[in-house]
Structure 1
Amino acid sequence: MRIGEASKRSGVPVSTIRYYIRRGLIVPDGEGTQYLFDEQDCHTLERIVQFKKWGLSLETAHRLLSLERVSSGVEQDTVEDCVALLRTHQKQLEDQRVRYQHYKEEINEFIDELNRQAAAPHGSALAPTGVPLRALSLLCCPRCGGAFQISKADMDMTAIFSADLHCSCGYRAEIRNGIIYAECEEKYPFDEPDIDRELYRSAPSELVSLIQKSYNWMGTRIKELSLPSGSVVMETHLNSFFALYKKLTQIDPSNIYVVQDKFPAIIELYKGYIDRLPAKPEILYIAAADNTTFPLRKGCVDLLIDYCSTNEYGIYADDFYLDRMRQYLKPSASVIGTYFYFDPDSRSLQKLREMYPLNGEKNYTRDYFKSGIRSHYHIAKQAEIGVSTDSGDGMTFDFNCTGDALYMRSFLLHPAERHRPEREEE
């Protein structure tokens, strides 16, 4: 819907909605003065109206919306952040002896709702999930390409919950609690699993709004692709970002989703959260220390999500992430993602190299991405999402020096042989 219809539906004046957009509280798809509002945007407007009624500042409302945007409502740590903000506002109401006592009661109800979402099972949440049987055809030995032999399997009619996987060449992996563990030895001395989701929770609200804007752009491109039923969609480097996470209850359940991280703890964390969602697609979870070598058949992926994966991979390798991932893509595949970069002479690049000695020389520069895709990919669409000059004091881009411009560019790529014409959205 257009902004006028969203205004009528919410009772919020158009001028106020535009102000909220400028502040980043609402992040509809679109640019300039033309915006398209979906149900989530209308829900956000309703939330803002509710927060204003309670007397919350726009800054606090923005923070609550940011936490909601990076959460599915089942993470206790994120809920605690929301509750802390709301409790602080309660104290302010008490200190000022605000006359409207029933607003405090509404806040209590909202807190109770958040806690119930995090604590209570959702629908079939307690039902175990495993490696989907229809995903077995995607698996193969990463060393020789041979088929796996499966033994000691605990399974039902839809999934395998535990098993040993072994190949005649000697390669071995295992399935535990529905996760494939493939050579998970520690090999990243400058990194650790973000099991508290500090990267999301510490991100400034303005940066989260830009991240949401990039998610919206990518979501629109995914819809435009009209993937056939049963497609394979893959995302790696979940310890950095997990773009699919907030969309898992909205995306096509006929597809198979493959997610991977080098840290088993991260895969276990997200599987635990996703298992508690009311509806979820079939997901193949892979914990593998090598971020581009998986027990996965070559040429099986229809869509690769690269949300900062190219950046993250470049911190520990000299070669290019999308070149390594080509082996898993079908000739007709697409890549949708967002790349982050600094100006070549920025202080942040120098700090990045000091913090991560293995970082590729040109990683986090625009030229690195442009030259990396030139040989094997063609840009179908791309858009500059925005610029952040403050990543906060937490884990989020902790090498970003305040004041340095961190650019975000979202893209849709096809293998070069598809010869799609380049289009750039200004």
Structure 2
Amino acid sequence: MKIGQFAKEFSVSVDTVRYYIETGLLIPEKANTQYRMNTICMEDMALINELKHYRFSLKEIHKILSLKRLTNSGNNIDMSYFSSLLMEKKQGLLEEKAQISNVIHSIDSKINREIMKEMEQDHVTMGVPLLFVPLLSCPHCQSELNLQQASILGQRIYEGSLRCSCGYQAEIKEGILFTSNLQSSPYKYSIYEIDVGKWNPDFVSIIEKGKLWMYNELLHQTLENKVILETNIEVSMMLPKYLSTLPKNTTYIFTCYSLEMIKTLKKSIEKLHPHLSVLYIVNSDLQLPLAHRSIDFFIDSTSSTQYSLIYKESPFHILKRYLKNNSCIIGNSVYYEANTKSLKKIQSLYPTPSPNAFQPNYLEKEMEEHHFKFSNKEIIGSTQNPGSYFAYHDENEKMNFLGYTARYSASE
């Protein structure tokens, strides 16, 4: 019998049969390059399936098959030996059942404790700290924004309208600043809307290494009384994990176009770090209602790379107006080698991507054109399988993950 027919007979895949052959669980005859599954293979496969049903591991099954082969017992293995194995397996399963019951009980207790903790800790939404008011300016004409119909409690703005004489408008709702002309991405980018199962865990580990690299770079900077901006946090963000280790007098701005993401982040930070001064902005195009030359640090958690998939305009061209002279960008970037299939897929899959999106020299060109100079640059890792979520990726190609630090010179 050929492998294909044999596999069908036992309702397993051909790959499974080949694996059993490679590991010695099955020993078929071989004619030239073709395996022939004989009667002994049929007997062994039936025994393998039976023992698997009894929750024996393949390693344990191999031992039983070895006894059968050493004693030449054919299909009649030593019943006393087999019975003792079954009794041991039964006892092991009973112990495992008790352990599982204990774990289920622990999980139920944990769920109940978390529910009670959530009920006991009523979350009080915080507003926009008043210290941000001097930073709020029209993104078009840079005029000071007029705050109207404001609801202010203590040192925070909870509701209000921001108006400019040129016609620009923005709103503050529940302590979150909403910019005008919000655009929805044609693709879902909030991490809560993504099937994480479509991300390769190995690639997620590379991303995490990239965040740690950025954090270590940030620790070399003077952060006291500085303003740090992190944009496009829908999929990846670095700062929130490390807030407890950074100076208490540092000021933060987070932006993204997912209201759900901003609300979740805001609630988390307010619970863990209620003393921090944070501005949350719902925005899609990086045209932020902030004064020019007001940001000391820009954290690029692949946001510039993601932005290049959606917009032709350079994110650095937009963001540099907000950066102070000698301000610092600390970031991660993704790129492919030149002339790869993945690059061609990006241009065909996305409506209006940057022509340089994910190109190997994308970051270098951007830095040079917009007066940034690298102070550090390092390959964090690479993968040929980031996961099925990345529809543009060709499985035979390498996606590279880069960490970089750059300084901005506004005078150039």
Same fold by TM-score greater than 0.5: yes
Aligned position for 1:387: 382
TM-score (norm: length of structure 1): 0.68
- The corresponding residue for 2:215 is 219
Per the TM alignment, residue 277 of structure 1 is displaced from its structure 2 partner at its CA by 3.5
Match of 2:49 in 1: none
8 Å CA contact retained: 1:183, 1:289:
no
Report what 1:33 is aligned to.
Answer: none
For residues 350 and 118 of structure 1, the distance between their equivalents in structure 2, rounded to whole angstroms, comes to: 48
1:180 corresponds to: 177
Which digits, 9 at most, give the CA deviation of each residue in 1:358-407, with x for residues without a partner? Answer: 112221012111111123111111111001111223x3x33222232110
Match of 1:307 in 2: 301
Q: Which runs of 5+ in 1 are unaligned?
A: 1-92, 420-426
**2:140 aligned with 1:143, yes or no?**
yes
Match of 2:336 among 342, 367, 388: 342
Q: Structure 2: how far apart are the matches of 1:333 and 1:155?
A: 32
Deviation of 1:113 after TM superposition, in Å, equals 3.6
* Matching of residues 102-181 of structure 1 within 5 Å: 102=99, 105-106=102-103, 108-109=105-106, 112-113=109-110, 116-117=113-114, 120-121=117-118, 126-181=123-178
Question: Structure 1 residues 321, 138: CA separation in 2 closer, same or farther (over 3 Å shift)?
Answer: same
The 5 Å alignment of 1:396-407 reads 397-407=390-400
- For residues 64-96 of structure 1, give each alpha carbon's deviation from its aligned partner in whole angstroms, at most 9, with x where no partner exists: xxxxxxxxxxxxxxxxxxxxxxxxxxxxx9994
**CA shift in 2, pair 1:182/1:381, >3 Å:** same
Alignment check: 8 A CA contact 1:387 1:407 kept: yes
Aligned-pair Cα RMSD in Å: 2.9
> Partner of 1:173: helix, strand, or coil?
strand
Deviation at 1:116, TM superposition (A): 4.4
Corresponding residue of 1:326? 320
Partner of 2:31: none
Contact (CA 8 Å) 2:312, 2:354: kept in 1 or not? Answer: yes
Q: 1:201 to 1:137 in 2, by over 3 A?
A: farther
1:374 aligns with 2:383: no
In 1, Cα distance between equivalents of 2:301 and 2:375: 17
- Is the CA contact 1:262–1:288 (under 8 Å) kept in the aligned structure 2? yes
CA 360–266 in structure 1, closer or farther in 2 if over 3 Å, else same: same
CA contact 1:130–1:161 (8 Å) conserved in 2: yes
Give the deviation of 1:110 after TM superposition: 5.5
Q: Conserved in 1, the CA contact under 8 Å of 2:325 and 2:409?
A: no
Instruction: Give the secondary structure class of the aligned counterpart of 1:408.
Output: strand
> 1:275 deviation in Å?
3.6
1:143–1:118: structure 2 CA closer, same or farther, 3 Å change rule?
Answer: farther
SS where residue 150 of structure 2 aligns?
A: strand
Q: Which of these two proteins has the greater Rg computed from alpha carbons?
A: 2
1:102 shift after superposition: 4.7
Decide whether the 8 Å contact of 1:232 with 1:257 is kept in 2.
Answer: yes
Q: Is the 8 A contact 1:303 1:334 kept in 2?
A: yes
Relative distance call for 1:208 and 1:139 in structure 2 (3 A) is: same
Q: Which is worse superposed, 328-337 or 98-107?
A: 98-107
User: What letter corresponds to residue 176 of structure 1 in structure 2?
Assistant: K
Q: Which moved more, 1:106-115 or 1:364-373?
A: 106-115
Structure 2 counterpart of 1:356: 350
- Write the letter of the residue equivalent to 1:333: S
Contact 1:122–1:276 (8 Å) recurs in 2? no
Alignment gaps of 5+ in structure 2: 1-89
CA shift for structure 1 position 202: 3.9
CA gap of 1:133–1:390, structure 2 versus 1, over 3 A, is: same
Q: Which residue of structure 1 aligns with residue 86 of structure 2?
A: none
Tell me how far apart the structure 2 counterparts of residues 280 and 115 of structure 1 sit (CA, whole Å): 29
What amino acid is the match of 2:133? Answer: L
TM-score (norm 2): 0.71
Q: 1:281 aligns with which of 276, 287, 310?
A: 276
Per the alignment, residue 63 of structure 2 pairs with none
In structure 2, C-alpha distance between the alignment counterparts of 1:282 and 1:406, rounded to whole Å: 37
* Pairing partner for 2:187 from 173, 191, 200: 191
Provide the C-alpha distance between the structure 1 equivalents of 2:227 and 2:168, rounded to a whole number of angstroms. 24
Deviation at 1:245, TM superposition (A): 2.9
2:201 aligned with 1:208, yes or no?
A: no
Q: For 2:128 and 2:229, how far apart are their aligned partners in 1?
A: 15
Residue correspondences, number = 322
Secondary structure of the residue aligned to 1:398 is coil
Q: 2:404 aligns with which of 404, 408, 411?
A: 411
Percent identity over paired residues: 22
